[in-house]
Homo-oligomer: A and B are copies of this chain.
Amino acid sequence: MTITVNLQKHINDSYGIHMQELAPLAFSEKVAIITNPTVADLHLEKLLKLVTAPSVKVVKIPDGEAYKTLETIETILNELFEQRLDRRSTLIAFGGGVVGDMTGFCASIYQRGINFVQIPTTLLAMVDASVGGKTGIDNKFGKNLIGSFYQPKAVYIDPFWLSTLPDREFGAGVAEIIKIAVTLDEEFFCWLESADLKNHEAIKEAIARSIELKADIVAQDEKESGLRQVLNYGHTFAHVIELEGNYTEFLHGESVAIGMVMANNLAVNTGSLSHKDAARIKHLLEKYDLPTSFSTSDPEQFYDSFFLDKKSHSGKITFVLPRTIGDYVFVDDAKKEWVLEAIKGE
């Protein structure tokens, strides 16, 4: 099946997400595959058999969020210049979210923009990074603070790659699926409560449903000026958790799981979510061994870090809170004391 991401304001940038066993990909111009050593060891041989082009260069970047830096971007770009890739060349992102975000960013600034396609190999990248055109890198001020909105020409999702994914990373992907369900689709949430996502058919269905729901939001608000903020449920907290953990303690999806619980605390305190629904969400997260608590040494500093978030402006921060399961509300006037309580898990 193919899900089309329709971008209403930039219709030429619309693209398809193809969910099927990966078929041969033929390019008429030079190609560079950006990947990391872990994915390359497991799957590169298979991919190279499927990709044909006048020239195929493989660029391996170190594995992990810690390397999602401007320095790595410069290394990749230099490799592309060495290979004399030109404006008609294509980059292939072959890996998880880090590889996808950095490849997309490189594609957006190499010679002012070249084509790229995504072949995500992690569950998180399949359900999240594959839709929305967000590219970027981290710096000492926070996560994804430098980047661009830049759409791939196509995304190829083959659940086959998940066969080698560690359980912890699988769970991190499930966190984003749960995030989508909680805010946008009660029926999907109920289905998740009873489904076993380790089952091949079930995970395919969960990926497809998550992508459809996210694509629908992105289509309406490509550049995150309003509606799209709903996708940040849990993320405002998660970004700070990742920063405090130096991007190494938790996987992104794990931080989002904790962030959702913190957002739920705030939602319960402000009356938009019942204790019962908050407990159901937490229970579903625990089913996939996701962490649901985090103790910060300094809640005040944690709070202060919100204001470096891209979504903050004029000293205000907008929280996305569930309003029952399957619905949400934007709150931009949460009192500091409520937020501190939510952070502390009170």
Contacts and interface: CB of A to CB of B under 8 A. Distances in A.
Nearest to A12: B9
B141 A81 contact: yes
Given A12-B9, A313-B86, A314-B29, A81 B308 contact: yes
Interface stretch (A60-68, A144-152, A322-330): A144-152
A113 interface: yes
B113 A148 contact: yes
Nearest to A89: B313
Nearest to A82: B141
Contacts of A223: 112-113
A87 B310 contact: yes
A215 to B, nearest CB: 19
Interface of A is mostly: mixed
Nearest to A86: B313
Nearest to A54: B314
A84 interface: yes
A56 interface: no
A105 B136 CA distance: 14
A149 B110 CA distance: 11
B12 A112 contact: no
A70 B149 CA distance: 19
B145 A148 contact: no
A260 interface: no
A163 interface: no
A149 to B, nearest CB: 6
A146 B307 CA distance: 30
A88 interface: yes
A310 B112 contact: yes
Nearest to A77: B146
Interface of A: 9-10, 12, 29, 70, 74, 77-78, 81, 84, 86-88, 105, 108-113, 134-136, 139, 141, 144-149, 223-224, 307-308, 310-314
Closest CB pairs A-B (n = 7): A81-B141, A86-B313, A111-B310, A88-B313, A112-B147, A109-B146, A112-B149
